[in-house]
């Protein structure tokens, strides 16, 4: 019995180790390669132990306006999340409280359909309105996936807040809108944080929309890194440095809110 328990434990930890290696290795390899010289990154067999250099990062920032790419990505993501929350929170609230199933179904379908389903008309309209190559236009287009995301994560969250709390506020002379602002929203802070972070990540990571609607003044980070592959002869160290710069803020943000992350990632999917 105890021999079986020992072998069981060994199997358990071996599986855990293999899984952790599989899921963390590519990220680790990205960071390691970013700190290698061009000779080391192209060495075969791969080098595991080396003196780290910051040269790749210095090159990426010196040869490209990388700070302006970071600024573009941030502006688009922050604007899309701000508008997404402002419009999405009240909608999610009435969706949860008044069982507006038609509206819920609409946002569910929009969330599920592929982005390209919206992009031909948007491309045509943006061209005639001069919104191609504009950060505002890009941020607006990101609402296509940010708004349904906010609404679905938050509708699930609002449903779990007991109605009695709002009713108590109503009895105390608060209006319904007032109860939403003063009672429901403060109680929903963890949900709002999760929705905001998830939307920020979705916008920061998005590639297809900027590929179609972007231009030289709206180069966001995914677009910048993608164009490094196609236009320069492949400088792996530099590419990995750029990839690290994109990924680190996202990973840091995820670690910061890891308490809410799992809930937020599943909430929109399973609940509602």
Partner 1 sequence: MTGTLDRHLPILFPLPAALLAAALMLYPLAYTLFISGQSFELGFRGHDWVGLGHYAEALANDRFWGAAFRTLYFTVLSVALSVALGMVMALILNREFRGAPWARTAFLLPMVATPVATSLVWMLMFNPSLGVLNWLLGLVGLPPSVWVADPNWVIPSLVLVDVWHFAPFAMLILLAGLRSLPASPFESAMIDGATRWQMFWRITVPMLRPVLLVVLIFRTIDALKVFDIIWVITAGGPGFSSETLYIYAYNQAFKYLDLGYGSAVIVLFTAVVAAASLLWIRARGRVWQ
How near is the Cβ of 162 to partner 1 at its closest, in Å? 19
Structure token pair of residue 82:
């701000």
Whose CA is closest to 142, among 92, 78, 194? Answer: 78
How near is the Cβ of 81 to partner 1 at its closest, in Å? 14
Q: Which is nearer to partner 1, 78 or 108 (CB)?
A: 108
Whose CA is closest to 84, among 16, 18, 154? Answer: 154
How near is the Cβ of 160 to partner 1 at its closest, in Å? 14
Helix ranges (DSSP H) in 35-99: 38-41, 55-63, 66-97
Q: Which is nearer to partner 1, 107 or 157 (CB)?
A: 107
b/e burial code for range 247-271 (CB count within 10 A of at least 16 → b): bebeeebeeeeeebbeebeebbeee
Q: Which is nearer to partner 1, 5 or 216 (CB)?
A: 5
Q: Which is nearer to partner 1, 12 or 215 (CB)?
A: 12
Q: Which is nearer to partner 1, 20 or 136 (CB)?
A: 20
How near is the Cβ of 6 to partner 1 at its closest, in Å? 15
How near is the Cβ of 91 to partner 1 at its closest, in Å? 4
Q: Which is nearer to partner 1, 114 or 162 (CB)?
A: 114
Helix ranges (DSSP H) in the chain: 2-34, 38-41, 55-63, 66-97, 101-112, 116-129, 135-159, 163-171, 176-179, 185-187, 189-205, 208-213, 221-231, 236-256, 258-270
CB atoms within 10 A of CB 215: 13
> Rounded CA gap, 111 and 105, in Å?
10
> Rounded CA gap, 122 and 150, in Å?
22
């Amino acid at each position: 019995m105890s021999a079986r328990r020992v072998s069981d434990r060994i199997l358990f930890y071996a599986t855990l180790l293999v899984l952790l290696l599989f899921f963390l290795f590519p990220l680790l390899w990205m960071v390691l390669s970013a700190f290698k010289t061009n000779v080391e990154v192209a060495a075969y067999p791969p080098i595991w132990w080396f003196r780290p250099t910051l040269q790749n990062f210095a090159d990426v920032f010196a040869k490209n306006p990388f700070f302006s790419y970071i600024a573009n990505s941030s502006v688009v993501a922050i604007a899309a999340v701000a508008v997404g929350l402002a419009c999405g929170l009240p909608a999610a609230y009435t969706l949860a409280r008044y069982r507006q199933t038609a509206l819920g179904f609409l946002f569910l379908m929009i969330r599920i359909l592929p982005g390209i389903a919206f992009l031909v008309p948007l491309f045509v309209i943006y061209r005639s309105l001069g919104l191609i190559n504009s950060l505002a236009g890009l941020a607006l287009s990101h609402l296509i996936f940010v708004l349904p995301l906010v609404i679905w994560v938050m509708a699930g969250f609002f449903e779990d807040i007991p109605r009695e709390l709002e009713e108590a506020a109503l009895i105390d002379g608060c209006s319904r809108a007032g109860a939403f602002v003063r009672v429901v929203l403060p109680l929903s802070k963890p949900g709002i944080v999760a929705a905001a972070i998830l939307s920020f990540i979705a916008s920061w990571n998005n590639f297809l929309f900027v590929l179609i609607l972007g231009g030289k003044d709206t180069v966001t980070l995914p677009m910048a890194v993608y164009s490094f592959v196609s236009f320069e002869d492949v400088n792996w160290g530099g590419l990995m440095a750029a990839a690290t710069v994109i990924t680190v803020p996202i990973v840091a943000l995820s670690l910061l809110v890891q308490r809410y992350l799992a809930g937020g990632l599943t909430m929109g999917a399973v609940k509602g």
